[in-house]
Structure 1
């Protein structure tokens, strides 16, 4: 168990950044609060809905108000260092691809435990005490660009989940004989509007009437387009904005269509069969979930996607109960329920 009690987290969300960094930090913050600690989020940009959620969860939120401070700059690092001193934070965690070498160097001037959440060795050098990368490809990356003291926690065994998933720890997913329930989610922002592409593809399917739940966040700028396509659909489509407990929808779903990242790990834990599409460079591990672990059907990059490809794969998966059972079981073997404090020992 961690002995230290004051945690400061630096992360942001926006249409460009997405909400994934904040969402996985919520898992850390929940675990910290649960064992009696205090948590402060420091953000430069964040949606009002997500900021409200942080406050509702019992976390403090500090906004960087200076307009001349760029995300990831040395000034940003200095601001975070001074805030950590003011709060007397025992541990500081940063999550975001903008927080590179110079930012980390500035932050490391203060003697507190310093943790970086990473996905693909985005920094040219690491000054952290601990670097966590939960990707399947993490062990293949070169992390020699670090301090000798830096501890590396690499691989899916270091996946931590939000507390909403704990109630499903002993779940064995039911695999329907007649699946009709499809969950569609591409994170809080979905800058490439993959959701609309999926709706178009599902509308090609005429032989089945599907129940579709689309999860989007406040940072998604395509809501009106998605609504228009959904209204014209012969399927039953519900658009859910800012769903707090996504585990409920995952438990309902017979399958999901999604991208990589935190949501993929959550779907694997829940045993939800899925079709996955690469929508960002940091999702480079997606093919491994398919080729090595048979835990999803990876159908390629968003730029190469078509209605025909996606609708065809969706029908095939819906009709193949054996494949869905295998995919579900493999996902649950790969990702187990663990909280941040179960993983990181300081």
Structure 2
């Protein structure tokens, strides 16, 4: 049986869409009673030019519905016609969503793993899989419970593309914080660990206090998080990974679709929301006390990230327990 996964790709899309569908494919492989014969067919929309309805029609003519488990879609490029075509072919259709777009077929399942996602869907039904209980996160992102007296390492990531170059812009603001002030009683050498995505289009920054990493896989990302005391991140899938790892985090919006998730994590209280770069130094300073970071980890440890997903997927794809 084949599972088709359609997702936005390329410089403008970054890596978040691919990572979400890959994580879902892995989850389905673990719980599927057909796992020995399941084949995941990854369909990057930009690479295959599937945003063209003509090309998508041609692609779909080679699909045998009776030989498929269904399809998963994570795309802002696809419109009503694209989703309608897939809905006519696949018995099961799961659509990732972040902002309650009114374009999904009635019988499809809508997946939004942001905290309190139900607030976005006033008319939600049993076909809506909403909230942190349905969030996807690679199993490698396990809790990091240790808390150091001082912040000595900062994890920074702005996704797979970072076309705004927040990675470069943020460095002087981090270094203007009390962490880098010799007059501070908490002063100690501090290292910024900057993760650049595969599609990062700018010249990687350099600085004595900076270490850069490019296109890390999930295991490498988590290994780096284990070295760090706090994080600064955009509001996409990395937030779920940081929450699962119990890393106190400052969030900075890099795309409009991240706004809801950022505000909801801020309401939980474990993560801090930077409205702009100028707020970064004060927010770093607010995380310097050890007890503040301990409290953040305690709050994050209560979140039930992804714990409702397995039973939901069994229901969607008609898997037996």
Classify the TM-score, shorter chain: 0.7 to 0.9
Cα 1:143–1:191 change in 2 (3 A) is: farther
Mapping of residues 30-41 of structure 1, within 5 Å: 30-34=26-30, 36=35, 37-41=38-42
Distance 1:275 1:111, change over 3 A: closer
Q: Is structure 2 residue 305 aligned with structure 1 residue 326?
A: no
TM-score, normalised to structure 2, is 0.84
The question of 1:43 aligning with 2:76 is answered no
Q: Residue 298 in 1 paired to residue 298 in 2?
A: no
Q: In structure 2, what is the equivalent of residue 48 of structure 1?
A: none
Partner of 2:243: 268
Equivalence for 2:108: 129
CA distance in 1, matches of 2:144, 2:13: 34
Residue 2 of structure 2 contacts residue 69 of structure 2 at CA under 8 Å; is this kept in 1?
yes
Is residue 113–residue 131 contact of structure 2 (8 Å, CA) maintained in 1?
yes
CA distance in 1, matches of 2:168, 2:66: 44
Tell me, yes or no, if the aligned pair for 1:182 and 1:254 is still in contact at 8 Å. yes
- Give the drift of 1:83: 4.4
Q: Distance in 2 between matches of 1:74 and 1:143?
A: 31
Q: Distance in 2 between matches of 1:162 and 1:256?
A: 18
Specify the alignment match of 1:108 in structure 2: 87
Q: Which runs of 5+ in 2 are unaligned?
A: 182-187
For residues 180-329 of structure 1, the aligned pairs below 5 Å read 180-205=152-177, 206-207=180-181, 208-222=188-202, 224=203, 226-227=204-205, 230=206, 233-235=207-209, 237-244=210-217, 245=219, 246-285=221-260, 286-290=262-266, 292-300=267-275, 304-306=276-278, 309-317=279-287, 319-329=288-298
Residue aligned with 1:188, SS: coil
Shift of 1:87: 9.0
Count of residue pairs the alignment pairs up = 299
Post-superposition Cα deviations, 1:21-62, rounded to whole Å, max 9, x if no partner, equal 0011111122234452221101133xxxxxxxxxxxxxxxxx
* TM-superposed deviation, 1:79: 4.2
Q: State how far apart, in whole Å, the 1-side matches of 2:312 and 2:295 are.
A: 28
Q: 2:3, 2:39 within 8 Å by CA — same for their partners in 1?
A: yes
Quote how far apart the aligned CAs of 1:172 are.
Answer: 5.1
Distance change in 2, residues 1:262/1:157 (3 Å) = same
Question: Are residues 248 and 339 of structure 1, via their aligned partners in 2, closer, same or farther at CA, if it must alter by over 3 Å?
Answer: farther
* CA-CA distance at 1:199 after TM superposition: 1.4
Bigger Cα displacement from structure 2, 254-263 vs 81-90: 81-90
- Structure 2 match to 1:54: none
Partner residue of 1:152? 128
- Quote the offset at 1:311 in angstroms: 2.0
User: Judging changes above 3 Å, is the alpha-carbon distance between structure 1 residues 79 and 31 closer, same or farther for their aligned structure 2 residues?
Assistant: farther
Give, in whole Å, the separation in 1 of the partners of 2:8 and 2:90.
Answer: 24
Cα root mean square deviation, aligned: 2.4
TM-score (norm 1): 0.79
CA separation in 2, counterparts of 1:338 and 1:277?
Answer: 27
CA separation of 1:44 and 1:172: change in aligned 2, threshold 3 A: closer
The aligned counterpart of 2:184 is: none
